[in-house]
Chain A
Amino acid sequence: MSALSADRVSKRYGSVVALDRVSLEVHRGECVALIGESGSGKTTLLRCFNRLTDPDEGRVLVDGVDVATVDAFELRRRTGYVPQDGGLLPHWRVRRNVALVPWLRGEPDAAATDRALQLVGLEPDRFGPRWPRELSGGQRQRVAVARALAARPAVVLLDEPFGALDAITRADLQATFLTLRRELALTAVLVTHDLAEAFLLADRVGVLRSGSLEQIATPAELRAEPATPYVRELLERARVVG
């Protein structure tokens, strides 16, 4: 049984087709990257997994259970989420931000909060009492990752988590994430527009274009056999830039 699966999922916003019968399986402990241009539907698909978006057609399953049948708030509280901009509550100190989800679940756990900060490489006693505005962009993003992990979720959703960082900081965070997902055996879905990042962090990469899944495969398979001219072009462009 897959940890996550989307089964012919469609979503329209007015006349715009965001997702067109997309099917996808994510295995337990696997990291799948979704890549595509703006408007390709990659973020919409990600948001279906914790019911930030409900599809018009098709089913989304988590651990084999149709998410339409579970409480959205409960589902989100057991699913880690890292937005691009960190999304830290500016009026809460770092420690309280990290403790958000355990608090929402009614099981506050100070030790788990500190452990999550340590996991992302932030000394709890030094960074815990700080305000978000006192942190660098990279540190804020680390706190956002710690917050996503504090309640020990089985699945983590990341929406362009490192996109707004400078190259050096991004490389640091990518390394941290790589270590974490191996150590914690995380199941993760990562939305990115950076093919190099997708190849670095993910076991498989799904290429979306105009709401359709063009191809989903391992980095090696993609390089060897691009399924469509679009995927081939994407790879060539990434190589030029990279």
Chain B
Amino acid sequence: MSTAALLLLVALQASDPRPVVVASKPFGESYILAEMFAQLLEARGIEVDRRPGLGATEIAFRAIRTGSADVYPEYTGTGLLAILGERPASDPKKVFDRVSREFRRRWNARWLPPLGFENTYAIAVRRATAERYGLATLSDLARTGRSLRAGLTPDFIGRPDGLPGLTGAYGVRFAEVRALLPAVKYQALAAGEVDVIDGYSTDGLIARYDLVVLRDDKRFFPPYEAAALVSGGLAERQPAAIAALTELSNRLDETAMRRLNQRLEVDREPVGRIAGDALAELGLTAAPADAASAERRQEGSLLRYLWERRGELLGLTRRHLLLVVLSLAAAIAAAVPLGLALERLPRGAELAVRAAGVLQTLPGIALLAFMIPLLGIGLLPAVVALFLYSLYPILRNTYTGVRDAAPDAVAAGRALGMTPRQILRHIRLPLAAPVIMAGIRTAAVINVGTATLAAFIGAGGLGDPIAAGLALSDTRMILSGAIPAALLALGVDGVLGAVERVVRPGG
């Protein structure tokens, strides 16, 4: 059954006509640029499959390399330091030439000519902090010693052009370094939870929170020119798409980009409208690409927000349910028979159950990331990851349930001539059924929750608005995914509860 389901998925994916897969990293500017790519391609008659907020550098680039995504906005400095792992260089032209050559040679991936603006790291503090410590440059920051608390994105903490490089170049030290998601770091800074954050120089929120960006007086941060990073496959398959994307080259300056970011992050306008307006202003499209998306954003209650998006949310819920049902069905088909078999092999049993338990301890996002090189992005890797997650509760409960089922009855059945098979079929299995169902219900609820992470590898579902909402600091958007997901978890548990009452043995 599980194999059949997987084969079906593979077949479904293979039979898709292949539109251009436009991905982005999970932050506002990346969403806007990707949406501009998408609308521009559509305006040139090219079909597009949007995967906004696919994942951070690792995941997004891996998708390009493996061909599961065709294009996403990337920055030359990131390519040089984070992907190629080379030393920083300060000349933008040299950096671009270097990444162009190396990406093409190693992965057949292409950097299209840059879009025209740089978006480098910006180390920002509250205005009050800047005044109190007299901070204007990063060298000033180094002089504060260990008195300030930093809230940095995990990405920045790990990459050589991030915290480690900054520490080396300036000798910057902090009292404490906390890893914060991009979505929350500005709020954390504004609320005084941390004193220093990393941002991007084009962030619209820098103006909103009246932050002071510390000048990179030693020119440590390498140039981060934005450009479209394109898979080799697309370049060979659809030169028309490359031509369309190249129309954007050198058309956006830093001021224009910061304004677009502000419309998204501060004014909370829909990405589709911002991108459409931007393309129209540049004269690349006739009018805002999508008249419907130009509607004024409706202010109102959360319920109203949800109601207005009911069609979209229903589609996402269906998709979410598909992920859950496929992965859970496969997990039941695998773990229940395995659990029953383990009852006969007590020596191997604990080992097998613990192995499934180890899978459970892998962070969801890590397991999903592991799936990308093996299975690409989309439905299949998400279903496989969720399948692996669902194994442990079902396996553990099945094994424990049949092992511990009514030992007196099992002993009597054996003494009166029941075969081990009959004991399993007529005593252990029916008596363990409620315990097995409890395991399935646990797995189902975990599965519904974990499936929201599937959005990060482009599998869709209710994680889409959650990921986008996190990236855009839009609570209502987050809730529009989280509330249906919670209801779905309750619903799935309720249905399984009804099944449990049916399979519960008498007596």
Question: Which one of A50, A75, A89, A133 contacts B413 once the chains associate, using CB atoms below 8 Å?
Answer: A89
Which positions 471-507 of chain B face chain A at CB distance < 8 Å? 505-507
Q: Which residue of B is nearest A73, CB measured?
A: B417
Is B506's CB under 8 angstroms from A89's CB? no
Question: Which one of A73, A87, A132 contacts B507 once the chains associate, using CB atoms below 8 Å?
Answer: A132
Give the docked Cα–Cα distance between A93 and B505 (Å): 11
Distance between A190 CB and nearest chain B CB, rounded to angstroms:
15
Give the docked Cα–Cα distance between A91 and B411 (Å): 15
Is A76's CB under 8 angstroms from B415's CB? yes
Is A77's CB under 8 angstroms from B417's CB? yes
Is B418's CB under 8 angstroms from A83's CB? no
Is A101's CB under 8 angstroms from B417's CB? yes
Which positions 87-124 of chain A face chain B at CB distance < 8 Å? 87-93, 100-101, 104-105
Distance between A45 CB and nearest chain B CB, rounded to angstroms:
15
Is B416's CB under 8 angstroms from A147's CB? yes
Question: Which residues of B sit under 8 angstroms from A81, Cβ to Cβ?
Answer: 412, 415-416
Is B409's CB under 8 angstroms from A90's CB? yes
Give the docked Cα–Cα distance between A105 and B426 (Å): 15
Distance between B413 CB and nearest chain A CB, rounded to angstroms:
7
Q: Which residue of B is nearest A101, CB measured?
A: B416
Question: Which one of B411, B506, B507 contacts A83 once the chains associate, using CB atoms below 8 Å?
Answer: B411
Give the docked Cα–Cα distance between A85 and B418 (Å): 18
Question: Which one of B414, B416, B417, B506 contacts A91 once the chains associate, using CB atoms below 8 Å?
Answer: B506
Give the docked Cα–Cα distance between A70 and B406 (Å): 29
Give 1 or 0 for each of B390-419: 1 = CB within 8 Å of chain A CB.
000000000000000010110111111111
Residue A7 at the B interface, CB < 8 A? no
Residue B431 at the A interface, CB < 8 A? yes
Distance between A93 CB and nearest chain B CB, rounded to angstroms:
7
Give the docked Cα–Cα distance between A131 and B406 (Å): 15
Is B415's CB under 8 angstroms from A50's CB? yes
Q: Which residue of B is nearest A72, CB measured?
A: B417
Report if A83-B417 is in contact (Cβ < 8 Å); known contacts: A90-B406, A90-B507.
Answer: no
Residue A56 at the B interface, CB < 8 A? no
Give 1 or 0 for each of B429-446: 1 = CB within 8 Å of chain A CB.
011000000000000000
Residue A74 at the B interface, CB < 8 A? yes
Q: Which residues of chain A have a CB within 8 Å of any CB of chain B?
A: 50, 52, 73-77, 81, 83, 85-93, 100-101, 104-105, 131-133, 144, 147-148, 157
Q: Which residues of chain B have a CB within 8 Å of any CB of chain A?
A: 406, 408-409, 411-419, 422, 426-427, 430-431, 505-507
Lowest 5 CB-CB distances: which A-B pairs, in order? A87-B412, A91-B505, A77-B417, A76-B417, A131-B507
Can you name 24 A-B pairs with beta carbons within 8 Å? Answer: A52-B415, A74-B417, A75-B417, A76-B414, A85-B408, A86-B412, A87-B409, A88-B412, A89-B406, A89-B409, A89-B412, A89-B426, A90-B507, A91-B431, A91-B505, A92-B506, A92-B507, A93-B507, A101-B417, A104-B416, A104-B417, A104-B418, A147-B416, A157-B415
